[in-house]
Amino acid sequence: MATLKDIAKLADVSIATVSRVLNQDENLSVTEETRHRILTAADEIGYTKHQKIGNLKKEKHQVAIIQWVSEEDELDDLYYYNIRLGIETRAYELDYEMLRYFNDIPFSLAEEVIGILCIGKFSREQITELESLRKTLVFVDSDTLSQGYPCVTTDFQNAVYTALSYLTEQGCKSIGLLTGQEKTTDSTEIVPEPRLRSYRNYCIEKSIYDPLLILSGNFTVQSGYELLASKIASGTPLPDAYFAASDSLAIGALRALQENGINVPEDIQIISFNDTSLAKQVYPPLSSVTVYTEEMGRTAMDVLNKQVLSPREIPTLTMLGTKLTLRGSTKEKTIQLPTNP
């Protein structure tokens, strides 16, 4: 069981200081950095006896969240909402106050703001603008190692390979891709699509690659519907399955298939990506790659907290795993029973 002595050793302070911080001693004079170091140490070793320090009169340190989409768009894309929710939940546990900016980079930030968590895709010009704020930066859902900043992302390659492998094991000889193209919010850069790259690599390896099976629009329900409706109207054969790069694309495609009397999964199978709550609300419910978006947010908050307390010059990339969740849009695995000679 974790003790005050363990926390004191990890935080490099006295046991008395640990005790007074955890017991919310308002007469204790310690820096915010020391207080957060103690709270972080207590959390890391699982010390649960202390209560949250929420009643102190002194100002708390703050963390800014810069969400690359607008508040309205965030409600339409639960992926980014859940990342922000994970950040805010973890920040609350670490006793930080939050500032939120949607599709906007502030001109300046107060001294109390110790760091910025940037959710989404940012151009080099926008990163330069963020650098001018002179705060610790951590990026979520984009790889910023080449720009010199720590980041938290999803393991796209293994996620895509797992989904496509399942479909090929089901006997699918042709697998299409529904994908989208994104730009940074200042429209200066096209964002590389990692699922497209992984899909192409897998299909080439398996000798099933056909560029005509790639349908590209944007990551919305309407786009998914229009892409599939157009494909069906063209009269060209449909593949055995589609892998959709988002739940929204898959939901739109599902509607187009159903309107044309094409049954899922009997006639064509679908696996989507993200596994937001929407994936379970359609019929048939979507098999989907589950991305742990809230955990991405929590992890990013931990990276920022540690970077503030003990800065590292070498940027790190934290990559979270995924899980293939099977539902009604794919066929169940069949077991080949041995035949009698």
Q: What's at 24, amino acid-wise?
A: Q
Q: Are residues 184 and 256 in the same domain?
A: yes
Q: Are residues 189 and 126 in the same domain?
A: no
Beta-carbon contacts of 143 under 8 Å, excluding residues fewer than 6 positions away, are 151, 153, 317
Q: Are residues 190 and 255 in the same domain?
A: yes
Q: Are residues 37 and 149 in the same domain?
A: no
Q: Report the Cα 158 to chain-centroid distance in Å.
A: 15
We report the CATH number of the domain holding residue 129 as: 3.40.50.2300
Task: Please report the sign of the dihedral spanned by the C-alpha atoms of residue 241, residue 247, residue 248, residue 252.
Answer: positive
Domain residues for the domain of 192 are 156-291
The CA dihedral of 314, 301, 310, 19, to the nearest 10 degrees, is -160
> Which uninterrupted H or E stretch holds 130?
helix 124-131
Return the pLDDT at 100: 94
Q: How many CB atoms lie within 10 A of CB 66?
A: 23
Domain annotation covers residue 50: no
For 75-134, the pLDDT digits (tens) are 777 899 999 999 999 999 888 999 999 999 998 898 889 999 999 999 999 999 999 999
Between residues 59 and 168, the one the model is more confident about: 168
Query: First-to-last CA distance in the chain?
Result: 61
Domain annotation covers residue 332: no
Q: Are residues 162 and 266 in the same domain?
A: yes
Domain annotation covers residue 257: yes
User: Buried b / exposed e across 284-306, counting CB within 10 Å, b at 16+?
Assistant: eebbbbbbbbbbbbbbbbbbbbb
Domain annotation covers residue 328: no
> Six-digit token pair at 157?
């390659």
Q: Are residues 162 and 260 in the same domain?
A: yes
Q: Are residues 119 and 225 in the same domain?
A: no
> What does the alpha-carbon distance between residue 293 and residue 120 come to, in Å, rounded to a whole number?
12
For 224-242, give the DSSP string: HHHHHHHHHHTTPPPPSEE
Question: Percentage of residues in the chain with pLDDT exceeding 90?
Answer: 66
Q: Are residues 202 and 313 in the same domain?
A: no
Domain annotation covers residue 335: no
Q: Are residues 108 and 232 in the same domain?
A: no
pTM of the entire structure?
A: 0.79
pLDDT band at 138, cuts 50/70/90? very high
Average pLDDT over residues 201-216: 97
For 2-18, the pLDDT digits (tens) are 677 777 777 788 877 87
For 27-79, the pLDDT digits (tens) are 677 777 777 778 777 777 666 555 444 443 345 789 999 999 888 888 777 89
> What does the alpha-carbon distance between residue 12 and residue 310 come to, in Å, rounded to a whole number?
12
Between residues 34 and 209, the one the model is more confident about: 209
Return the pLDDT at 59: 56
> What does the alpha-carbon distance between residue 138 and residue 304 come to, in Å, rounded to a whole number?
6
Three-class DSSP labels, 32-97 = HHHHHHHHHHHHHCCCCCCCCCCCCCCCCCEEEEEECCCHHHHHHCHHHHHHHHHHHHHHHHCCCE
Query: 180, 221 in Cβ contact below 8 A?
Result: no
Domain annotation covers residue 137: yes
- Look at residue 4 and give its three-state secondary structure: helix
Helices 293-309/32-44 angle, 10° precision: 130
Mean of the per-residue pLDDT values of the chain: 88
Domain annotation covers residue 339: no
Domain annotation covers residue 300: yes
> What does the alpha-carbon distance between residue 286 and residue 270 come to, in Å, rounded to a whole number?
7
Return the pLDDT at 116: 96
For 255-305, the pLDDT digits (tens) are 999 999 999 999 999 999 999 999 999 999 999 999 999 999 999 999 999
Q: Are residues 150 and 299 in the same domain?
A: yes
Beta-carbon contacts of 233 under 8 Å, excluding residues fewer than 6 positions away, are none
How many domains does one find in the chain?
A: 3
Return the pLDDT at 1: 57
Q: Are residues 184 and 230 in the same domain?
A: yes
Q: Are residues 161 and 249 in the same domain?
A: yes
> What does the alpha-carbon distance between residue 188 and residue 106 come to, in Å, rounded to a whole number?
19
Return the pLDDT at 223: 96
